[in-house]
């Protein structure tokens, strides 16, 4: 009789434990996060999903692809996405217009872009009157194209036409068919143009000073951050570990990049990996200089508006994770 009582007591305790665990799991907030590109700079976002890192940190997160940072920002403002990737330019432009956004970390703080042109264009002068392809107005490819053109002393929209074409594969395809004479792209994308004769007319890598730009920014709304700091912290933990994975697990990262970008071109995968692994931030703090420059550009389009870096940047969670030793632990494993 005593044996039965002990048995039923243990079963009861086990049942209560399972109910507690079930209840705890069911109470987890289901959130949607988004990334804006399938190119290598955004790889940490889909690596976090692919390797189960959101779940590792107690999140019931769905990661979705929303092409272009400007569209991601719109989704954040609408509340469809809770945390997503934006660029300094798209965030500053939205904030100047009244969007309640805040950047909580930046995983890449420069803009690794090249200006690819047809082989017949041998100088900046040869660009005049031609069409340059970008993803969308306000996107990182737009910012990069304009910076590269200005470095060549070419006036965007005046000396050349800026055309919205789509993501890197679409820009490479448009270049291959002659629809555009050139395009701004991350390193390696030219390999997708299937042997089209070309030249790199300018590269941000050749700038005398590194081009400061908050490129891969974990972004949310101020209201969501205020009431869900722990959730946002866990998202940052997952993304930081995904970044470490990319920087230290080359071949597997290339396989994941190939899966999400749907590209098997080895030259593209190798170039994309090498160019980005070295610029991913170990501690993803936001470049203030880069954000100030983007705010200045945004304010120029909105006379009378005001905006400061501290209005749209709060990377205190990154500072907290650094002080707690989380980042060091991740990079020692």
Q: What is the total count of domains within the chain?
A: 2
CATH of the domain at 241: 3.40.190.10
Residue 80, C-beta contacts closer than 8 angstroms, at least 6 positions apart: 32
Q: Final residue of a domain: which of 149, 181, 206?
A: 206
Number of Cβ within a 10 Å radius of residue 187: 21
Spatial distance between the Cα atoms of 6 and 20, rounded to a whole number of angstroms: 21
Number of Cβ within a 10 Å radius of residue 150: 12
- Are residues 62 and 175 both part of a single domain? no
- Are residues 159 and 97 both part of a single domain? no
Residue that has been written with the tokens 């954000």 in this structure: 291
Q: Final residue of a domain: which of 153, 177, 206?
A: 206
Number of H helices, E strands in the chain: 15, 10
Q: What is the pLDDT of residues 285-322, one digit of tens each?
A: 999 999 999 999 899 989 999 999 999 999 999 999 99
Q: What is the pLDDT of residues 146-155, one digit of tens each?
A: 999 999 999 9
Q: What is the pLDDT of residues 210-225, one digit of tens each?
A: 789 999 999 999 999 9
- Containing structural domain, residue 172: 116-206
Strands 114-118 vs 198-203: parallel, antiparallel or unpaired: antiparallel
Higher pLDDT, residue 200 or 244: 244
pTM (predicted TM-score):
0.82
Spatial distance between the Cα atoms of 131 and 85, rounded to a whole number of angstroms: 28
For residue 303, being part of any structural domain is answered with yes
First to last CA, the chain: 51
Q: What is the pLDDT of residues 62-79, one digit of tens each?
A: 999 998 888 999 999 999
Strands 30-35 vs 198-203: parallel, antiparallel or unpaired: unpaired
Taken as a whole, the chain contains a residue count of 333
Flag whether pLDDT at 97 surpasses 60: yes
Q: Final residue of a domain: which of 206, 235, 260?
A: 206
- Are residues 250 and 289 both part of a single domain? yes
């Amino acid at each position: 009789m005593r044996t039965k009582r002990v048995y039923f007591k243990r079963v009861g305790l086990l049942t209560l434990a399972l109910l507690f665990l079930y209840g705890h799991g069911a109470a987890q907030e289901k959130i949607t996060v988004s990334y804006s590109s399938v190119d290598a700079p955004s790889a940490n976002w889909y690596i976090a999903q692919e390797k189960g890192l959101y779940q590792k940190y107690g999140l019931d997160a769905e990661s979705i692809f929303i092409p272009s940072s400007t569209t991601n920002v719109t989704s954040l403002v609408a509340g469809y996405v809770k945390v997503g990737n934006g660029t300094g330019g798209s965030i500053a432009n939205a904030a100047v217009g009244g969007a309640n956004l805040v950047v909580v970390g930046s995983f890449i703080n420069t803009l690794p872009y090249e200006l690819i042109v047809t082989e017949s264009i041998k100088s900046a002068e040869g660009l005049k009157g031609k069409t340059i392809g970008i993803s969308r107005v306000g996107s990182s490819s737009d910012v990069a194209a304009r910076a590269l053109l200005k470095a060549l002393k070419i006036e965007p929209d005046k000396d050349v036409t800026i055309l919205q074409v789509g993501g890197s594969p679409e820009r490479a395809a448009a270049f291959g068919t002659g629809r555009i004479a050139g395009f701004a792209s991350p390193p390696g994308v030219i390999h997708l143009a299937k042997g089209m004769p070309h030249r790199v007319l300018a590269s941000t890598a050749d700038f005398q000073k590194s081009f400061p730009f908050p490129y891969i920014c974990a972004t949310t709304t101020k209201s969501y951050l205020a009431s869900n700091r722990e959730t946002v912290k866990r998202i940052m933990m997952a993304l930081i570990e995904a970044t470490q994975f990319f920087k230290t697990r080359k071949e597997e990262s290339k396989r994941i990049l190939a899966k999400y970008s749907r590209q098997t071109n080895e030259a593209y995968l190798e170039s994309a990996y090498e160019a980005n692994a070295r610029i991913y931030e170990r501690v993803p703090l936001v470049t203030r200089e880069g954000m100030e420059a983007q705010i200045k550009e945004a304010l120029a389009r909105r006379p009378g508006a005001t905006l400061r870096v501290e209005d749209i940047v709060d990377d205190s969670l990154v500072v907290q994770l650094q002080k707690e030793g989380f980042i060091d632990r991740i990079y020692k494993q």
